[in-house]
Protein backbone atom coordinates (compact mmCIF):
# COMPACT_ATOMS: atom_id res chain seq x y z
CA UNK A 1 0.00 0.00 0.00
CA UNK A 2 1.25 3.52 -0.71
CA UNK A 3 -0.38 6.64 0.79
CA UNK A 4 1.27 10.02 0.28
CA UNK A 5 4.55 8.33 -0.61
CA UNK A 6 4.42 6.12 2.52
CA UNK A 7 4.76 2.44 1.70
CA UNK A 8 3.24 0.28 4.42
CA UNK A 9 1.35 -2.99 4.73
CA UNK A 10 -2.31 -3.52 5.34
CA UNK A 11 -2.74 -7.07 6.60
CA UNK A 12 -5.68 -9.45 6.39
CA UNK A 13 -5.89 -13.05 7.63
CA UNK A 14 -5.73 -15.71 4.88
CA UNK A 15 -8.49 -18.29 4.32
CA UNK A 16 -6.59 -20.97 6.25
CA UNK A 17 -5.92 -18.81 9.33
CA UNK A 18 -7.24 -20.57 12.43
CA UNK A 19 -8.41 -18.45 15.35
CA UNK A 20 -9.01 -20.68 18.39
CA UNK A 21 -10.20 -19.15 21.70
CA UNK A 22 -6.67 -19.32 23.26
CA UNK A 23 -5.13 -17.58 20.23
CA UNK A 24 -7.88 -14.97 20.30
CA UNK A 25 -7.35 -14.38 24.04
CA UNK A 26 -3.59 -13.99 23.45
CA UNK A 27 -4.20 -11.49 20.65
CA UNK A 28 -6.59 -9.42 22.78
CA UNK A 29 -4.04 -9.37 25.60
CA UNK A 30 -1.30 -8.29 23.21
CA UNK A 31 -3.46 -5.50 21.76
CA UNK A 32 -4.28 -4.29 25.30
CA UNK A 33 -0.55 -4.05 26.09
CA UNK A 34 0.16 -2.28 22.81
CA UNK A 35 -2.67 0.18 23.38
CA UNK A 36 -1.18 0.92 26.81
CA UNK A 37 2.12 1.76 25.07
CA UNK A 38 4.15 -1.39 25.71
CA UNK A 39 6.08 -3.28 23.04
CA UNK A 40 5.33 -7.01 22.69
CA UNK A 41 7.93 -9.74 22.32
CA UNK A 42 6.69 -13.10 21.06
CA UNK A 43 9.12 -15.90 21.93
CA UNK A 44 8.80 -19.65 21.50
CA UNK A 45 9.98 -22.75 19.65
CA UNK A 46 10.43 -22.69 15.86
CA UNK A 47 7.27 -22.96 13.81
CA UNK A 48 4.80 -22.28 16.61
CA UNK A 49 3.16 -19.34 14.84
CA UNK A 50 4.99 -16.29 16.27
CA UNK A 51 5.29 -14.48 12.95
CA UNK A 52 1.70 -15.31 11.97
CA UNK A 53 0.46 -14.11 15.35
CA UNK A 54 2.51 -10.91 15.16
CA UNK A 55 0.96 -10.11 11.78
CA UNK A 56 -2.51 -10.83 13.11
CA UNK A 57 -2.03 -8.65 16.18
CA UNK A 58 -0.67 -5.86 13.97
CA UNK A 59 -3.73 -6.20 11.71
CA UNK A 60 -6.06 -5.88 14.73
CA UNK A 61 -4.63 -2.43 15.54
CA UNK A 62 -5.87 -1.11 12.18
CA UNK A 63 -2.84 1.16 11.76
CA UNK A 64 -0.33 1.01 8.90
CA UNK A 65 2.15 -1.81 9.48
CA UNK A 66 5.90 -1.67 8.89
CA UNK A 67 7.68 -4.99 8.59
CA UNK A 68 11.43 -5.50 9.12
CA UNK A 69 13.37 -8.78 9.10
CA UNK A 70 16.47 -8.95 11.29
CA UNK A 71 19.76 -9.57 9.54
CA UNK A 72 23.26 -10.00 10.97
CA UNK A 73 24.58 -7.65 8.27
CA UNK A 74 22.39 -4.82 9.56
CA UNK A 75 23.92 -1.60 10.81
CA UNK A 76 21.97 1.28 12.38
CA UNK A 77 21.57 2.93 8.98
CA UNK A 78 19.69 -0.11 7.68
CA UNK A 79 17.06 0.71 10.28
CA UNK A 80 17.03 4.52 10.45
CA UNK A 81 18.34 5.52 7.01
CA UNK A 82 21.40 7.07 5.50
CA UNK A 83 22.92 9.25 2.86
CA UNK A 84 22.09 8.00 -0.58
CA UNK A 85 23.00 10.00 -3.65
CA UNK A 86 23.72 13.67 -4.10
CA UNK A 87 21.35 16.56 -4.64
CA UNK A 88 22.73 19.31 -6.84
CA UNK A 89 21.04 22.68 -7.29
CA UNK A 90 22.03 25.41 -9.72
CA UNK A 91 20.36 28.81 -9.94
CA UNK A 92 21.08 31.09 -12.88
CA UNK A 93 19.64 34.58 -12.41
CA UNK A 94 19.80 36.86 -15.42
CA UNK A 95 16.75 38.97 -14.55
CA UNK A 96 18.75 42.16 -15.09
CA UNK A 97 20.42 41.29 -18.39
CA UNK A 98 23.65 43.13 -17.65
CA UNK A 99 24.03 41.08 -14.41
CA UNK A 100 24.50 37.31 -14.38
CA UNK A 101 24.29 35.69 -11.00
CA UNK A 102 24.81 31.95 -10.53
CA UNK A 103 24.51 29.96 -7.36
CA UNK A 104 25.39 26.32 -7.09
CA UNK A 105 25.04 24.00 -4.12
CA UNK A 106 25.63 20.29 -3.73
CA UNK A 107 24.66 18.21 -0.74
CA UNK A 108 24.18 14.54 0.07
CA UNK A 109 20.63 13.37 0.21
CA UNK A 110 19.26 11.62 3.28
CA UNK A 111 16.77 8.80 2.76
CA UNK A 112 14.76 7.52 5.76
CA UNK A 113 14.69 3.79 6.33
CA UNK A 114 11.77 1.78 7.65
CA UNK A 115 12.23 2.38 11.37
CA UNK A 116 12.32 6.16 10.93
CA UNK A 117 9.30 6.04 8.64
CA UNK A 118 7.43 3.92 11.22
CA UNK A 119 8.28 6.35 14.07
CA UNK A 120 7.30 9.34 11.98
CA UNK A 121 3.95 7.99 10.84
CA UNK A 122 2.80 6.04 13.90
CA UNK A 123 3.02 2.61 12.29
CA UNK A 124 2.86 -0.72 14.05
CA UNK A 125 6.37 -2.10 13.63
CA UNK A 126 6.75 -5.86 13.25
CA UNK A 127 10.44 -6.64 13.67
CA UNK A 128 10.64 -10.35 12.81
CA UNK A 129 13.77 -12.31 13.77
CA UNK A 130 15.14 -9.19 15.50
CA UNK A 131 17.73 -11.28 17.35
CA UNK A 132 19.44 -12.04 14.02
CA UNK A 133 20.59 -8.40 13.93
CA UNK A 134 23.65 -7.53 15.97
CA UNK A 135 22.87 -5.76 19.30
CA UNK A 136 24.70 -2.56 18.22
CA UNK A 137 22.40 -2.26 15.19
CA UNK A 138 19.34 -2.61 17.44
CA UNK A 139 20.64 -0.08 20.04
CA UNK A 140 18.58 2.67 18.46
CA UNK A 141 15.43 0.86 19.61
CA UNK A 142 16.28 1.46 23.29
CA UNK A 143 15.61 5.20 23.15
CA UNK A 144 12.58 4.67 20.92
CA UNK A 145 10.94 2.24 23.32
CA UNK A 146 12.06 3.83 26.61
CA UNK A 147 12.09 7.55 25.89
CA UNK A 148 9.96 7.79 22.76
CA UNK A 149 12.81 9.53 20.95
CA UNK A 150 14.57 8.50 17.77
CA UNK A 151 18.19 9.70 17.65
CA UNK A 152 19.32 10.37 14.10
CA UNK A 153 22.79 11.21 12.80
CA UNK A 154 23.67 14.92 12.65
CA UNK A 155 24.12 14.61 8.89
CA UNK A 156 20.38 14.13 8.42
CA UNK A 157 18.87 17.26 6.99
CA UNK A 158 16.40 18.70 9.50
CA UNK A 159 16.09 17.49 13.08
CA UNK A 160 18.55 15.02 14.56
CA UNK A 161 16.16 13.94 17.31
CA UNK A 162 12.68 12.97 16.39
CA UNK A 163 9.80 12.44 18.79
CA UNK A 164 8.19 9.10 18.07
CA UNK A 165 4.56 9.37 16.86
CA UNK A 166 2.11 8.50 19.65
CA UNK A 167 0.57 5.67 17.58
CA UNK A 168 3.93 3.94 17.05
CA UNK A 169 4.03 0.43 18.57
CA UNK A 170 6.58 -2.36 18.23
CA UNK A 171 6.33 -6.09 18.19
CA UNK A 172 9.22 -8.47 17.82
CA UNK A 173 9.34 -12.18 17.06
N1 LIG B 1 -3.28 -19.46 13.60
C2 LIG B 1 -2.81 -20.09 12.52
N3 LIG B 1 -3.66 -20.59 11.58
C4 LIG B 1 -3.19 -21.24 10.51
N5 LIG B 1 -1.89 -21.45 10.24
C6 LIG B 1 -1.00 -20.99 11.13
C7 LIG B 1 -1.38 -20.29 12.31
N8 LIG B 1 -0.27 -19.94 13.02
C9 LIG B 1 0.75 -20.43 12.29
N10 LIG B 1 0.33 -21.04 11.16
C11 LIG B 1 1.20 -21.66 10.14
O12 LIG B 1 2.23 -22.37 10.79
C13 LIG B 1 3.46 -22.20 10.10
C14 LIG B 1 4.53 -21.64 11.05
O15 LIG B 1 4.10 -20.38 11.52
P16 LIG B 1 5.10 -19.16 11.73
O17 LIG B 1 6.03 -19.04 10.57
O18 LIG B 1 4.26 -17.98 12.08
O19 LIG B 1 5.90 -19.67 13.01
P20 LIG B 1 7.14 -18.99 13.72
O21 LIG B 1 6.98 -19.26 15.19
O22 LIG B 1 7.29 -17.57 13.30
O23 LIG B 1 8.34 -19.84 13.13
P24 LIG B 1 9.92 -19.50 13.20
O25 LIG B 1 10.36 -19.74 14.61
O26 LIG B 1 10.52 -20.49 12.24
O27 LIG B 1 10.08 -18.08 12.76
C28 LIG B 1 3.19 -21.27 8.92
O29 LIG B 1 3.03 -22.04 7.75
C30 LIG B 1 1.88 -20.59 9.29
O31 LIG B 1 1.11 -20.27 8.13
MG1 LIG C 1 8.86 -16.52 12.43
Q: Can you tell me the distance from the alpha carbon of 124 to that of 7, in angstroms, rounded to the nearest whole number?
A: 13
Residue 125: phi and psi, rounded to 5, are -95, 120
Q: Is the CB of 23 under 6 A from ligand 1?
A: yes
Q: Is the CB of 50 under 6 A from ligand 1?
A: yes
In the sheet where 40-41 sits, what is the strand order? Answer: 40-41, 169-172, 124-128, 65-69
- Scanning 62-103, the segments in alpha helix (DSSP H) are 76-80
Per-chain mean pLDDT for the chain: 89
Mean pLDDT of 40-48: 94
Q: Can you tell me the distance from the alpha carbon of 153 to that of 65, in angstroms, rounded to the nearest whole number?
A: 25
> Closest Cα to atom 16, ligand 1: which residue?
49
In ligand 1, which atom is closest to the CA atom of 18? 3
pLDDT in tens, 119-129: 999 999 999 99
In ligand 1, which atom is closest to the CA atom of 54? 18
pLDDT in tens, 81-129: 988 888 899 999 999 989 999 999 998 888 889 999 999 999 999 999 9
Q: Which of 83, 82, 70 is nearest to 137 (CA)?
A: 70
Question: Which residues are found with C-beta within 5 Å of the ion, ligand 2?
Answer: 50-51
Which domains does the chain possess? 2-81+115-172 (3.40.50.300)
Rounded to 5°, angle at Cα 165 from 86 and 153: 35
Mean pLDDT of 140-147: 93
> Closest Cα to atom 1, ligand 1: which residue?
18
Ramachandran region, residue 123 (left: φ > 0; alpha: ψ -120 to 50; beta: rest): beta
Ligand 1, pocket-test mutation among 12, 51, 58, 171, most atoms within 8 A of CB: 51
Amino acid sequence: MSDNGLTTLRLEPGDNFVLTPPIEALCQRAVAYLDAGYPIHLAGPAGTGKTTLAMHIAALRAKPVMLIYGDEEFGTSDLVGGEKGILSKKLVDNFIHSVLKTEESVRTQWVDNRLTTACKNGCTLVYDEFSRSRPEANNVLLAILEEGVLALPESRFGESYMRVHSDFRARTG
